[in-house]
Amino acid sequence: MSTASEVKRLYAKGEKRKALIILYAFIVLLIIIVISVSLGAGSPRFMEAAQVILSRFFPFLEIDPEKTDEIIILTFRLPRIVLAIIAGAGLAASGATMQGVLRNPLVSPFILGISAAAGFGAALAIVLGIVVFSPYTGYMVVANAFIFSMLAMLMVYGIACLRGITPETVILAGVMVGFLFSALLSLIQFVAPEYDALRAVVYWLMGQLHTATWEKNLIILPIVLVANALMVRHSWDINVMSLGEETATSLGVNSKRVLVICITLGTLATASIISFTGIIGFIGLVSPHIARMIIGSDHRFLLPCSIVLGACLLLCSDTLARLVFMGSELPVGIVTSLIGVPFFFYFLLSRRRQLWH
């Protein structure tokens, strides 16, 4: 057997192994979903949940679940499980993509300062009732958070353009815009005339999933789905870009274009998620790192793996968040870091793979 075909065979074997890892991660996610749907402050457990879901999808079985169980499972538990999966997946994919194109392990989906901008937008609506544009009064906070996130992104591109768009200018401009908006956010918090509004803002900033509804999920899902698909499509370009801008150019990849496209997609997905959930920060930073340790830095596999891991991690966190006190909720943003950090260290210490090069 010639060396070339030997190499090809090894490569194909590696690819198969990586695909298997993603499949395993997906199975783990399914298991977590089953556990999550069976647990909560309400009484329905696995059997009741199964009854409710079966009765909904197969009405001819004539299973007749209790009305309260039905409401608890269909109106509260399932939508928030779905939201946790969408949000986890979207944040993780954005994180992995941005870390890739900016070639920086500290980058999170909030690199363009959008967490502070979204917080500022939300606070404007909560505290002062100032709303830029909202199609429907129930979504004033959401619309404001989203609009200001987009504004932050445009500001970053505007500033970065002045010196030419490179990873460095984008990161620096993002940090600055972030500081600008967090100052404005503090200003609103400081002048807030009502203590309750202040608490509501702080609460929003901690991030929560218990306000999930099918309606919100239907708005977020298409955005995250399309953004994630487009990011995965660019994974080969991101691989090439990790070799450096000159090499990328010589291989026919327009670094600037890919960078702007990928960051825009990531920011769009992240902004649409956090506008509904508040700031859930840790997932987008840590999921790509864990995925990188498990599967390596080929973005064609790294991205899907991050997506599944992000969904697992956020769903796990949210399940815990609603179990700790049973009757009351813990903001999920707190739990994500509390369980994500030990998880991260476990992988850091148990893997020998070269992480960043």
Q: Which residues bind other proteins (CB under 8 A)?
A: 40-43, 67-68, 71-72, 75-77, 138, 190-198, 200, 203, 208, 210-211, 213, 322, 325-329, 331
- At its nearest, how many Å lie between other proteins and the CB of residue 191? 6
Q: Which is nearer to other proteins, 180 or 197 (CB)?
A: 197
Residue 1, helix vs strand vs coil: coil
- At its nearest, how many Å lie between other proteins and the CB of residue 105? 34
Q: Which is nearer to other proteins, 72 or 171 (CB)?
A: 72
Task: Judge residue 278's burial from the number of C-beta atoms within 10 Å of its C-beta, 0-12 exposed, 13-18 middle, 19 or more buried.
Answer: buried
Q: Which is nearer to other proteins, 151 or 219 (CB)?
A: 219
- At its nearest, how many Å lie between other proteins and the CB of residue 68? 6
Phi-psi domain of 279 (left: phi exceeds 0; alpha: psi -120 through 50; beta: other): beta
Q: How far is CA 83 from the centre of its chain?
A: 10
Phi-psi domain of 147 (left: phi exceeds 0; alpha: psi -120 through 50; beta: other): alpha
| Separation of alpha carbons 49 and 255, rounded Å | 49
- At its nearest, how many Å lie between other proteins and the CB of residue 103? 37
Q: Which is nearer to other proteins, 268 or 315 (CB)?
A: 315
- The conformation of residue 75, written as its DSSP 8-state character, comes to I
Structure tokens at 60: 């001819």
Q: Which is nearer to other proteins, 21 or 145 (CB)?
A: 145
CB-based burial, 134-143: b 16+ in 10 Å, e otherwise = beeeebbbbb
- At its nearest, how many Å lie between other proteins and the CB of residue 198? 8
- At its nearest, how many Å lie between other proteins and the CB of residue 225? 23
Q: Which is nearer to other proteins, 245 or 329 (CB)?
A: 329
Stated as kind and residue range, the H or E segment containing 125 is none
